[in-house]
Amino acid sequence: DQQVKQNSPSLSVQEGRISILNCDYTNSMFDYFLWYKKYPAEGPTFLISISSIKDKNEDGRFTVFLNKSAKHLSLHIVPSQPGDSAVYFCAVQGGSEKLVFGKGMKLTVNP
């Protein structure tokens, strides 16, 4: 059973527009939520996170929204840039060091 679902395998957007990446989780006990970005032939790198006591966290062009009642989080990138093209992983954490990752979503930003 997948505890973290990224239902869309890919997304393509134009440079300058908004990218919205979605993630659903199943366990309401998770209390920390993260997004990682991965370029080809590299390991994932931490991008942004949010704790369960918040519903929004912003860092420059990146904003993460958390809807606890819907067990849903999303990552907004505004404006999108070609360098944002990568695979994005949603991850959740609850009560231990363990991260549970989604399968990832490939974002392509076209110039």
Partner 1 sequence: DAGVIQSPRHEVTEMGQEVTLRCKPISGHNSLFWYRQTMMRGLELLIYFNNNVPIDDSGMPEDRFSAKMPNASFSTLKIQPSEPRDSAVYFCASSLSGADTQYFGPGTRLTVL
Residues that bind partner 1 (CB under 8 A): 32, 36, 41-46, 89, 93, 96-104
Number of other residues whose CB lies within 10 A of the CB of residue 6: 19
Q: Which is nearer to partner 1, 79 or 108 (CB)?
A: 108
Comparing CB distances to partner 1, the nearer of 3 and 74 is 3
Per the listing, tokens 């067990």 go with 71
- For the bound state, the minimum distance from the C-beta of residue 81 to partner 1, rounded and expressed in Å, comes to 22
**Neighbour count for residue 3 (Cβ, 10 Å):** 14
Minimum separation from the CB atom of position 17 to partner 1 (A): 27
52-73 burial: b if 16+ Cβ within 10 Å, else e: eeeeeeeeeebbbbbebeebeb
Identity of the residue, 41 or 53, whose beta carbon is nearer to partner 1 in the bound complex: 41
CB of 6 to partner 1, least distance (A): 8
Q: Where are the alpha helices (DSSP H) in 36-96?
A: none
Minimum CB separation from partner 1 for residue 84, in Å?
A: 19
